[in-house]
Structure 1
Amino acid sequence: MNRLARQSLLLAGLLLPVLPLAAQHVDHAGHGASHARDPMAAAIAAPSRTPANVARDKYRHPAETLAFFGVRPDQTVVEYSPSGGWYTEILAPLLSAKGTFYALQPVGRNLDGYKTFLAAKPDVYGKVKLVPFPDQLSLIPAGSVDTLLTFRNIHNMVMNGTEAATFKSFYDLLKPGGILGVVDHRLPEARDSALEKTSGYLKVSTIRRLAQAAGFEYVGSSEINANPKDTADWEKGVWTLPPTLRNGEVDKARYLAIGESDRMTLKFRKPAS
């Protein structure tokens, strides 16, 4: 092998390790561009989200759930009873540029705590429109909302007897053709309905009945948030499981292995006519 050939081989060997680094750089750039093109992915990946909430994505599946409900960054969206702000951490940045986000928080149910949550990050939550419910419901114009979401709240309405009035409010807020998205703990249909008043679980048929009585059309369901490990027969109700873990350290490992509750994900529509 002549001298020129040896130099060429040596130069090629020195360059080889550079190529994966260049490819890696392209991948990172592409990932950032992907988030820029996908506002939902960017909102879910927002650095303002708390790590404890991010850890629950595997149970709550925010990207798939919001996609199922048809949430877009240019919509007017209401979340009923955002409480601790789990979904606010995603919806606020998602809707901040082109949409409107109303947080419809019941009076007396962590309203002050939610105000504190919003005030802690004004750069992220400064555009959130907090509306105490039902006292200031009129702050949201009737018939102006594209999508109304409620996550794990209808069982509370059923337990305190406010379900009919609250569903009517939902109906009035939505535009014709607007979507009501519901996620809640699922009670098997064969169980005693009396459990709906104490366990935190509800039957799918119960929520469908409430929505349809208010005038909504049933669109469909998804198993995005299902958990077949949850038997829904716990002595202390759904709060036995994480994240509440009402039994404390007793059998904690067992409940953590089961994970969060089995949840129904239901979609309803206000008739367009």
Structure 2
Amino acid sequence: MKFLHCLAIASIALAAPVTAKAPSRAVAEAVAAADRPADARDLDSSRKPAEVLDWLGLKPGMKVADLISGTGYWAEIMAHAVGPKGEVTAYEPNQFYNDEKGAALWAGIAARTPRVRLVRYPFEAFAPPASTFDAALINLSYHDLYWESEKYKIPRTDPDAYVRALYAAMKPGGVVGVIDHVGAPGDTRATVKNLHRIDPAVVRADFERAGFRLAGTSKLLANPADDHSKLVFDAAIRGKTDRFMMKFVKPR
């Protein structure tokens, strides 16, 4: 079963807070869709999906990737938002959600939202098709690219290779949103191993090294009360971690 994803912020200033304007009609209706399961709806108050997807610029007709999709929470909402002319590809490593419960979860998503296409791949071998996506989102999972686990059969991987593959998969002008738990500067792999957090500066450097341009940051999901030295699964902070949001663009 997938190790729940998490992350952090510290060494860069997060600017450009999301404004109070109402989200687009397509996004608002996607979040309000009657067929969304109750356990997914329960996460809305902490994840703020309408505000997040509106900030990323999600629109009907887009081709979108949900990266390390997990339970498909974002994939399902995005499928409603992009509408009948759009498409969502949910990328899920073979090592995660690979039991009967995971199979049932994804069967349910497929039945409710056939515009979601699930693609399984080895965690260490992400290879999406080139020039395919208008937008992509990786929520509370980017730090896992620095994670190793014998128990979950996660080998040591190269985050740079992953981001280069993602860069190639995006169309010119394509947008990638990254949300993760804020972590302090230091040994990135140790921080991920011990806390499942990541320094936002590391994420920015990784994406810019691949050719992406940072287009914006947001404090929408920030929590100044979060202790960045705590494991994200600590009962005192779980579900309420300080999270950073970054929006990257592939130059035209």
Same fold (TM over 0.5): yes
Shift in Å at residue 109 of structure 1?
1.4
Deviations 1:214-266 (A, max 9, x none): 111111200111112211222xx11114xxxxxxxxxxxxx27x752110000
Structure 1 unaligned blocks of 5 or more: 1-33, 242-254
Amino acid at match of 1:270: K
Matched residue, 2:6: none
Q: C-alpha distance in 2, partners of 1:268/1:65?
A: 14
Matched, 1:69 2:56: yes
Where does the alignment leave 5 or more consecutive residues of structure 2 unmatched? 1-21, 149-155
Asked whether the equivalents of residues 83 and 111 of structure 1 are also in contact (C-alpha less than 8 Å), the reply is no
Letter in 2 for 1:57: D
8 Å CA contact retained: 1:222, 1:264: yes
What secondary structure does 2:232 align onto? Answer: helix
Structure 2 counterpart of 1:151: 139
Whether the aligned pair in 1 keeps the contact of 2:72 and 2:90 (CA below 8 Å) is no
Q: SS at the partner of 2:211?
A: coil
Mean Cα displacement is larger for which, 104-113 or 84-93? 104-113
TM-score under structure 1 length normalisation: 0.73
Contact 1:145 1:178 in 2 (8 A): yes
* Of 156, 160, 164, the match for 1:164: 160
Deviations 1:179-209 (A, max 9, x none): 11100000134x6654234211111101011
**Alpha-carbon distance in structure 2 between the residues aligned to 1:78 and 1:260:** 25
Where do residues 178-193 of structure 1 align in structure 2 (5 Å cutoff)? Answer: 178-189=174-185, 193=188
TM-score by length of 2: 0.78
Deviation readout 1:23-69 (Å, 9 max, x if unpaired): xxxxxxxxxxx99x812111101122222221221211101111111
Match of 1:125 in 2: 113
How many Å apart are 1:98 and its aligned residue?
Answer: 1.8
Report the Cα distance in structure 1 between the residues aligned to 2:87 and 2:226, rounded to whole angstroms. 36
Give distance in 2, aligned partners of 1:116 and 1:131. Answer: 16
Aligned partner of 1:229 in structure 2 is 225
Higher relative contact order by CA 8 Å / sep ≥ 6: 1 or 2? 2
Distance (whole Å) between structure 2 residues aligned to residue 240 and residue 262 of structure 1? 13
Displacement of 1:158:
1.1
What's the CA shift for 1:118? 2.9
Tell me, in whole angstroms, the C-alpha distance in 1 between the residues paired with 2:239 and 2:97: 25
The aligned counterpart of 1:266 is 246
The 1:115/1:169 distance shift into structure 2, 3 A limit, reads: farther
Aligned-pair Cα RMSD in Å: 2.5
Q: 1 or 2, which has the higher helix percentage?
A: 1
